[in-house]
Each structure stands twice: as C-alpha cells, then as structure tokens.
Structure 1
Amino acid sequence: MNAETLKTEIKSDIIVERRGSAGLITLNRPKALNALSLQMVRDLTAALTALRDDPAVLLVAIRGTNKHGQPGTPESRFGGFCAGGDIRFFHQAALAGDSALEDFFTEEYSLNHLIQSYPKPYIAFMDGIVMGGGMGLSQGAKVRIVTEHTKMAMPETNIGLFPDVGGGYFLSRCPGHVGEYLALTGEVIGADEAIGFGLADIKRDAAQLPALWDALGSRVFVSGAEADQWVATEFIADPERSSGATGHIDTYFSLQRVKHIVDALEAAKDDPWAGKTASVLRKRSPLMLHVALEQVRRARSMSLADDLRMERDMVHQCFHLRPGARSETVEGIRALAVDKDYKPQWLPARIEDVKPGMADAFFASPWTAETHPLRGLK
C-alpha cells in the first residue's frame, strides 16, 4: 500500500478509510451527537477487527463529526466526538422488553475491551463532547487528544445509571478520589483537567486537528515498530499538565458513604465549591450514587475484564430489578430525554432514604461464570 492508496467504506453511521499505513474511523451521526446505536457498535467492532488483522494497517485513529459545515470537508469532521449511547433506544427497548437492549451492552462492553487491548497504536481525537460511551471509545487509546472545545464527563447518575463502558476501571485509576467525584457528580471537565486527572494525554488547538488527521494518513511505515516510534515522537505529552491537584476533592470523596460525603459538603458553609457540589449530588439518583460509589471502589482492585463483567451484571440489574417504567434508569431517561420535564421521581427520593445494602443487589450476577455473556474477555 502506498501513500496514494485510499479505500473508504461507509457503514451505518461510521466511515472507515485506509490511507497510507493508517486506518481512519469517523463517527458520522452528527445530528445525534454521534450517540452510539447497536448497529454502530457492531460496525465499529467489525472495522477495528478488520484493521487489526490487516498487515498493511499499522495504526488506527478515531474522530467524530460536527453537525455544522458541509460533509466531506475536513473542517466538518471535527467539533464533536461522541455523546454516549442512544439513551432513547434504551428507554424504548426497556419498555418493550426488547432483547436488543441486552445485546447492546454485551457488544458495547466487548468493543470497549477490544479498544483497551488493541495491539496497534490507537489515537482518539476527543474534540467537543466526550461523554459516556464516547469515553468507552477513547479511554483505551494510546494517545488521547483533547482541545479547547473538549467537554468530558461520565454523567450517568443524572439518568439513574452508573458510569459504565469500563468507567469503574478508568475512573478508579484517576489520582486520589477523583474517580468517585466524577462518577457521582457527572461533572463536565475540560482539556486541562482531563490531562491532570489522567483521562487525556495531550492538548492541541482544534484548528490543528485536520492537519494532524491528514498527517496520519499520509505516511507509510515499513513496520509496526516504526509506526510506534513515530507516534511516540509526534504525540509527546505535555509534562506541565501531567498532574492534577486533588486535595480538595479527596477531603470529601474519600469518605466512606454517600451521606458522609454530602453531610461534609453541606457543613462547609464558607466553601462555595462544596455547596455547589452538594447541590449537584442532591439532584442525582440517590440509589445510583450509592451504586456508583461502590462500583468505583470495587473496580480499583479489578482487571479491566473483571470490571466489565461486573458492569454487565450491574446494567442488567438496572433494567430488571425493577422492570419497565419502574426502573430507576428508565425513569431518569424519561425525565431527561423523553418527556424533558427534568423532574425524575427517584426511588428512594432522598439520599437519607437509601438503606445500607440497597446497592448490593446491583452487584449480584444473574449468570454463572460459565454462562456470563462476557466470559470470553481476558
């Protein structure tokens, strides 16, 4: 394959190109902020597997499309990465008892594992919104590029869910107790915080991204080792952004229980940040705050595969412990994305009403080790 070689495949809402020694993947569902459908998950898995097994492809990169601009122009391909999974689909499928909901999570988590264990350099252009499932597509990358437009979060407790797609694994590896903070609050962070918290590697001006993308496709390498060396040389992390201060966060989010955290935040009368953070937590699903806190702390000592198996158990329970409209997750999505009344009827309604042990049911697996849908992950 030479530098002039170009092969483009368009599948559902993704575009796959082979240029030079690179496989280039574009998420192409901009009107939905590139939210992942089941078909997109399947097409991404097929594309990454094919690129992995293609000896002419020595590195892979992924980006999202922008809903502004004309399709086909380089500038239109940046400005938004991925807002997560298609939560409207989750809502519809849960109410209909559609088995495709189970398929979605099994296949999405398998895709997350594929990315985290990818044998070739995988580069994520994390411009614009990077949330939920978008984090699952990017956190396993060898190089995670953020820009001045990056808005990163794991906001699942806002819809009665927990930070999945391996969130337990990568959030628990953040410094101090930042993982608990991000998991419970769903706080949106920018590029510098993402780098300081270990969730991104380098920051580039958004205007530079088209040239960087083109540079990936314009080179031909003679070996994987040469491609690895070029990536390591071209994308050097900025040492000035290599650490993030976490003391303020640790003061509160190292505490044992959700109520302890909220009580301490509310007691800090002279600290505006603490008051704002407590107010945010009061709006989240009280039950899922407890589930997410337990998730991050369990995952801290887990392998990625074991964390994903745990999360697969958890997401099953989110839709089956209280099925249909009674599900905390279905209610959260209804309030945020379907009816948009922004008044979820959480059950229990208050943090104080969540009794010890209520979260435990979410960690019970409905499968044996031999029948688990993610039993093959290593």
Structure 2
Amino acid sequence: MPDAVLISVESAAEGKLGRLTLNSPETLNSLTLEMVDLIQGALDHWRDDPAIAAIVIDGSGEKAFCAGGDVHALHASSSGTPGGPCEYAESFFAREYRMNYHLHTYPKPILCWGHGIVMGGGLGVMAGCSHRVVTQATRIAMPEINIALFPDVGGSWFLNHMPGASGRFLALTAASVNAADALFCGLADRFIAAEQKDAVFEALLAVQWDEDSTNNHAHMRHTLRGFSEAEGGVELPPAQVEPHLETINTLCDGDDIHDLIDRISQLETEDRWLAKARDGLLYGSKLAALWIDRQLYETRHSSLREVFQQEVQLGTNIMRHPEFAEGVRALLIDKDRQPNWAYADSRSVPTEVVDSFFTAPWPTNPLADL
C-alpha cells in the first residue's frame, strides 16, 4: 500500500522545505486517522527542527486537495455502537481537531495548495495554514448538513469571521464556493493558476530562508505574490458570495432560526447558485440545522482554543445519535437520497433534544489541554 501521506524534506538555496502530500487520490484524499497522525507527527518534528524553514501541504491527483474526512469509517463507528461511546469516530475528531489547532497556531509558514475539491476536513486543513492558495479549479464546501453533521474542523471559527451573514448561510445550505469567493470570505490568500504549481515550488526552493519565522513568512508572501500578480494568467471565476451578500444578509437577518429556515426554504429565484443553496437546506437534516446554527451562535465570541473544545463536544454527541448514520446511509451508502430524518421540520424538534448536544458527554474534554 502506498503511504497515505508522502513526507519529504528538500534543500532550498538556504534552509529546507518540508512537504506533506495527501496521497489517496482514489478517495479524493479523504482524511483517515492514520493521515491525521502522520501530519501531526511531521508538524511536531519540524516545529523543533531549525533547518526546516517552511512547509508545503498539497494533495495527490488533479481532482482534489481533500474531500473531507473518511465518512464511511465514521459511519461504521457511529452505527456500530449506537449511543456510544464510538471509539474510532471520537478519537478521530479529537486528534483531527488537535491537528487543526496546531496548524492555526504553527509558528513557521505553511503553504496549502488548495486545488480542486476542498471540503470538510480538507477545508479545516487549508483554513489553518498561514498561506492559502486557490486555483481556477478550486471548489469549496462545508456540506455537513446533508449528512447530519456540522461544519467542524474550525468551521465555528472561520464561518463566524466571514463577511455579513455569509458564514451562517453557507453552513445551513451546504452551498459551494469558488476561488473568488474564498478570497472574499477570508478562506484563501492568493489565487494562482493551477499550471503554476511546479513553478511555485521551484521558486520556494530558490529562496534563501533563515531561522527567523517572521522573515520566512515574508519570504513566502513575496514568492507567492509574484505568481498571483503575474500578467497573462488565468482569470478568477465569477464571484458568487459577494454579488449575493445583500440577499444572504436579508435571508439570515433575525434571531429565530425557524423563521430563517422558512425564508431560505421558500425562496423563489431563478438564480442557480441561490436555488442550489435553498435546495441544500431543504434536503438536509432539520435537527442538524438547529445544532449548526446554535453552534455558530455559542462560539461567536469564543477563542480558537474554545472553538475546538466546543466542536469536539458537539461532534462526540452527534456520533452517538442515529441522525448522522441515517444521513450517511442515504447520501453515500445506499445513495437513495431519501433520508428518514428524525424530524420533518425544525419546529418539531424539542428544545431539550437540541440542548442534549451541547452537554458534555464525559467528565473531561479531550482537548482541555490545548
């Protein structure tokens, strides 16, 4: 079996670059627990190695950087032990979120080449990197409502920091966004043509890096700037979020989540992007819509550390509930797209049911030591 993550070190003009390549193109580089541990191990080792000046993270193949977590493995864990504890799934979340937190707080520059599909756990990796590149083929989404999960891996952080109500809207509708939207929403820093990937890496190897991380961040920015500002390159795809921001803000204006769901669900539009977003909410779990919106509200003023601690609590409780297993069955296993959701509409969900997902299921949070 090939290595799930290709780990290499290359010498630059001065200093060295570490490189992590997600290496499961047949699954669109979906993250497994093994991959999470390999990434974490490399980050830990390179953090303390003065020779490593910067890190590059990319994905094998042309289709995806990373399509998310290994949902089939999570489903097996969740459905295999109804009510929990769901050992594999809960361990996966705790270790994945720890890795995400370390990416966000890593002192050395990390470039993420976010080409192709970037969803769920893949977006969690990209969002945590200090230098994030998108291409003309980038397609980003947090489609967790479709499988009764929630935008995790730090989604509670970066969705709450997006312009206007765009983060709330994207979380509830599973709407996909492109490179232009990623730049507008703060998910990416640079747009560079996909064809320039090898040239970018060669340019990074030509840099005279040093042991000062502040200087090295500047070196990284300077190198990437030269490619993103190059004339004759590929144009950005048409923006989707910014032109619709006024509509999004109107749809999401208000404190009553049920009214908000009604407004989006009843939206009459000929705009294909808005219509697809509406249909995403209509298809998704209404129970999940409630815990998604509450999670965003409860973390709106949280620190990054608190965000991941709250996410692992919610994720653990979701794994122990049958709604997630049903969502995965309908969308990814039987593929009948006819989920038997626990509740037909959001107003049918008892308040105490939603409350239960925000109650600690264990005496000590597994991320208490972040």
- Asked if Structure 1 and Structure 2 have the same fold, meaning a TM-score greater than 0.5 normalized by the shorter chain, the answer is yes
Separation in structure 1 between the aligned mates of residue 265 and residue 361 of structure 2, nearest angstrom? 38
Deviations 1:143-187 (A, max 9, x none): 110001001011101101001111101111111111101111111
Counterpart pick for 2:8 among 11, 17, 20: 17
In the TM superposition, what are the counterparts of 1:324-343 in structure 2 within 5 Å? 327-343=322-338
Check conservation: 1:34, 1:82, Cα contact below 8 A. Answer: yes
Q: Choose between structure 1 and 2 for higher RCO, CA contacts under 8 A separated by at least 6 residues.
A: 2
Letter in 1 for 2:174: G
In the TM superposition, what are the counterparts of 1:166-181 in structure 2 within 5 Å? 166-181=154-169
Any idea what SS the aligned residue of 2:65 has? coil
Q: Which residue of 2 is the match for residue 249 of structure 1?
A: 248
Counterpart pick for 2:186 among 198, 201, 206: 198
In structure 1, stretches of 5+ residues that fail to align are 1-9, 67-77
Counterpart pick for 2:223 among 234, 237, 256: 234
Any idea what SS the aligned residue of 1:172 has? coil
Q: Which residue of 2 is the match for residue 351 of structure 1?
A: 346
Letter in 1 for 2:149: L
Q: Which residue of 1 is the match for residue 297 of structure 2?
A: 297
CA RMSD of aligned residues (A): 2.3
Separation in structure 1 between the aligned mates of residue 279 and residue 257 of structure 2, nearest angstrom? 13
Q: Which residue of 2 is the match for residue 374 of structure 1?
A: 367
Letter in 1 for 2:261: V
Post-superposition offset of 1:80: 1.7
Letter in 2 for 1:48: L
Counterpart pick for 1:34 among 21, 29, 32: 29
Letter in 1 for 2:75: H
Separation in structure 2 between the aligned mates of residue 112 and residue 131 of structure 1, nearest angstrom? 14
Separation in structure 2 between the aligned mates of residue 355 and residue 178 of structure 1, nearest angstrom? 27
Counterpart pick for 2:60 among 56, 65, 75: 65
Check conservation: 2:51, 2:211, Cα contact below 8 A. Answer: no
Separation in structure 1 between the aligned mates of residue 219 and residue 283 of structure 2, nearest angstrom? 47
Task: Provide the identity percentage.
Answer: 34
Deviations 1:87-121 (A, max 9, x none): 00011112223512221111001000010100000
Letter in 1 for 2:129: A
Q: Which residue of 2 is the match for residue 108 of structure 1?
A: 96
TM-score (norm 1): 0.86
In the TM superposition, what are the counterparts of 1:213-292 in structure 2 within 5 Å? 213-224=201-212, 225-236=214-225, 244=242, 246-265=245-264, 268-269=267-268, 272=271, 276-292=276-292
Letter in 2 for 1:46: G
Check conservation: 1:12, 1:43, Cα contact below 8 A. Answer: no
Letter in 1 for 2:262: D
Any idea what SS the aligned residue of 2:302 has? coil
Check conservation: 1:334, 1:340, Cα contact below 8 A. Answer: yes
TM-score (norm 2): 0.88
Letter in 2 for 1:304: L
User: Residues 336 and 270 (structure 1 numbering): CA distance in 2 closer, same or farther, change over 3 Å?
Assistant: closer
Q: Which residue of 2 is the match for residue 69 of structure 1?
A: none
Deviations 1:24-61 (A, max 9, x none): 11000100000011111111100111111111001111
Separation in structure 1 between the aligned mates of residue 153 and residue 29 of structure 2, nearest angstrom? 16
